Structure 1
Amino acid sequence: MAREPIDPDGRNEVVKPPRDLRSKVRVLSGREAAQFDPVKSAEAALERLSGDFENWMEDEVRTLASAWADIQSDGLDEDRSQVLFRAAHDIKGQASTLGYPLVGAVAGNLCHLMEHVDTPTLPLTLVAQHVDAIRAMVQEKARQEDNPTARALVDRLADVTDDFITRQSDAK
């Protein structure tokens, strides 16, 4: 591996990998490049992976449920709160790609709640309702944004969360 000092003292150095990654990529001919559609290629790759999406979403829900179970059994503290937040945040970020946009909305709402309410005053009943909604929506495979039950859950949880955050802010 080639190493070069980057400061006069020679204490810091840049490490260059031994391989040039360009050797791993095939350069397209002009004709190939003209016919290449990166969006179509990405969609095809997603389609090949989509068979795993359901399992991945179920894994994310298990992680969230485990974090919630830890809070229920051991109590709410900053560390357990952060684990729950990260699990909800992961779901929020991945749910649409994995075909569960409304689950992402509920997870996003849970993150919103946790970002705006101090850990000791988090309403555990409301947190439980978010976790239960996410579990139920994935279990029932509520993938469509026009699913009336899932849509009602999303809207109601958002209303209750916003109301709670507003009341907390007004009390301060």
Structure 2
Amino acid sequence: MTDTAKDQEYEILSPPSDLRRKVRELTPREAKKFDPVKAAEAALQRLSKNFGTWMDNETRDLMSAWEAVRNEGLTEETLATLFRAAHNIKGQALTLGFPLVGQVAANLCHLIETVPGPESLPLGLIGRHVEAIRAMVMEGAKDDANKTGVKLLETLQGVTDEYLAQFPPEPEEA
């Protein structure tokens, strides 16, 4: 027999503060004039002065994760940390103004996700991705205007595709 909600003990948790007290309601006149997209763009503009620092921090996390792989070997934990750091860069790079770096990070994530197991990961190729990200952030290689960065990305993608070609995709189950 299953317990019903009446039979079970439960506790209702109340939030420590009512956020409605922190927000001012707009008057109907203000609400008509309010443009949420414009407000978000203005907020992003105010925050943009921090983007370089934030990208530096993400890169440091990636470098630290790579150092752990080099020192401790490719374990489940070190690989997960490395992947998470690359994935964070992949997700944040466009917003932070580094789309080219995001593409390199995406390629690194693709490499890690596609090989059949950690023992198949080429440490040299991973290291080249990490170094490329570090160098691009340090040099400010943000987008397609940086021809060296574009060439580096294309080379990494080509080498990665070549390497991954040896692992045929798993057949999908019907």
Q: Fold match, TM over 0.5?
A: yes
Return closer, same or farther for 1:35/1:162 CA change in 2, 3 Å cut-off. Answer: same
How far, CA to CA, are the matches of 1:138 and 1:18 in structure 2? 41
Task: Name the aligned partner's letter for residue 130 of structure 2.
Answer: V
Return the alpha-carbon distance in structure 2 between the equivalents of residues 23 and 116 of structure 1. 49
Q: Which runs of 5+ in 1 are unaligned?
A: 1-5
Greater alpha carbon shift after TM alignment, 10-19 vs 119-128: 10-19
Query: Comparing 84-93 with 32-41, which one deviates more in the overlay?
Result: 32-41
Tell me the TM-score normalised to structure 1 length.
Answer: 0.89
SS in 1 for 2:24: coil
For residues 116 and 11 of structure 1, the distance between their equivalents in structure 2, rounded to whole angstroms, comes to 46
Q: Structure 2 counterpart of 1:35, which letter?
A: K
1:80 maps to what in 2?
Answer: 78
**AA matched with 1:111:** C
Q: CA deviation at 1:38?
A: 1.0
Cα 1:145–1:12 shift into 2, 3 Å: farther
Query: Within 1, Cα distance between the matches of 2:54 and 2:21?
Result: 33
Give the number of equivalent residue pairs: 165
| Structure 1 or 2: more strand by fraction | 1
Question: 1:7–1:13: 8 Å Cα contact kept in structure 2?
Answer: no
Judging changes above 3 Å, is the alpha-carbon distance between structure 1 residues 18 and 149 closer, same or farther for their aligned structure 2 residues?
closer
SS of the residue 1:27 aligns to: coil
Residue 32 (structure 1) shift: 1.0
Q: For residue 11 of structure 1, report the CA deviation from its aligned partner.
A: 2.4
Q: Displacement, 1:50?
A: 1.0
**SS of residue paired to 1:13:** coil
Report the equivalent of 1:165.
164
Report the alpha carbon displacement of residue 19 of structure 1 after superposing the two structures with TM.
4.2
- For residue 24 of structure 1, report the CA deviation from its aligned partner: 2.4
Secondary structure of 1:16's match? coil
Q: Percent of aligned pairs with the same residue? A: 53
Partner of 2:67: 69
Query: 1: CA distance between counterparts of 2:158 and 2:34?
Result: 46
- Deviation, structure 1 residue 42: 0.8
Name the SS for the 2:12 alignment partner: strand
Instruction: Determine helix, strand or coil for the equivalent of 2:167.
Output: helix
2:134 maps to amino acid: R
Matched with 1:149 is 148
- Please list, as runs of the form range in 1=range in 2, the aligned pairs for 1:39-78 lying within 5 A after superposition: 39-78=37-76
Per the alignment, residue 94 of structure 2 pairs with 96
